Amino acid sequence: MNGQHYAAVEAGGTKFRVAIAEGRNIVADTTVPTTSPDETLAATISFIRNWGQVAAVGIACFGPLDLEETSPTYGAIASTPKPGWSNAPVLTRLRDELGVPAAIDIDVGGAALGEWRWGAARDLRHFIYITVGTGIGGGMFVDGAVHHGMGHPEMGHISVERVSGDDFAGFCRFHGACLEGMASGPAIADRWGAQGADLSDRPEVWDLEATYLAQALRTFTYVAAPQRILLGGGVMQQPGLLELTRTKLADQLAGYVTGDTLRQPLDHYLVAPTFGQDAGLVGAIALAMEAASSGG
């Protein structure tokens, strides 16, 4: 076992995945259920400490997260309906108890960083990473860093144009029929009365899903002009959905594009992430490496 070891934490709403990596290779890992912050963070810290010495810890965390660098609560969960987690100091607790440099980002931001270092967005200057699952989230990468504005993006909550004939009210408790309200995993289940995995052979389900996703990707394209969009998450495991979304995106853009990559076909513009369901954990490794090299 040569080389540095890094602790990586993908902090999710139902479970924390915790791994020790040598370089980017995972050499040990565990899963901790997300209960209370005290319990979950203690179990996470205990696993890392019992493994041995690490150079740094990286955390790709569910949101909303305080990412204002000047904020006294930087790296803590922001106000959340999740019981007990509002203001939970995820970053400082791990950093202080482990006594090593630490870095945190929102889960999709971490995933974007990992894809940029080693995956489907390698060497790009500007791209967007989208995940479609229990929720819909997005991270934007600009000039070598995950983009943070005032807080972090919440790309799942943009407005979409209701498809003619679709009378589903929408699932989002804040916005009703926003993108997440119309096209997340729970929205699919609620609209069609079955889980996505059990709707595989119903083309109308995926045609509608692809239509809403293509609308959203058109919006991301026109707002930010990324060089590429990575589209992953559990819902995207449906065979053929990525290809269908790509075709509908080309239709939606209607030829109104300024970059040559956006001329059809969009095979190099809209792609699956390399690390699939591991994108968050791989991103956490990348965050740990950044923390180690910056001394953060």
Q: Which residues bind a second copy (CB under 8 A)?
A: 63-66, 68, 78, 125-126, 138, 140, 142-143, 147-162, 174-175, 177, 215, 218-220, 222-227, 252, 254-259, 261-262
Closer to a second copy by CB, 75 or 196: give it.
75
Closer to a second copy by CB, 242 or 262: give it.
262
CA-to-CA distance for 138 and 231, rounded, in angstroms? 9
CA-to-CA distance for 66 and 77, rounded, in angstroms? 6
Q: In what order do the strands lie in the sheet with 15-22?
A: 25-33, 15-22, 5-11, 56-61, 102-106
DSSP 195: -
CB of 276 to a second copy, least distance (A): 24
Q: What angle do CA 121, 131, 248 make, to 5 degrees?
A: 85
CB of 89 to a second copy, least distance (A): 16
How far, in whole angstroms, is CA 184 from its chain's centroid? 13
Taking a C-beta distance cutoff of 8 angstroms, is the pair 244, 207 a contact? yes
Closer to a second copy by CB, 93 or 148: give it.
148
CB of 282 to a second copy, least distance (A): 24
CB of 127 to a second copy, least distance (A): 8
Closer to a second copy by CB, 65 or 288: give it.
65
Closer to a second copy by CB, 177 or 281: give it.
177
Residue 209 phi/psi, 5-degree rounding, is: -60, -45
CB of 160 to a second copy, least distance (A): 6
| Cα R_g (the chain), whole angstroms | 19
Closer to a second copy by CB, 82 or 125: give it.
125
Longest dimension (CA), the chain: 60
Residue 275 phi/psi, 5-degree rounding, is: -95, 5
CB of 219 to a second copy, least distance (A): 4
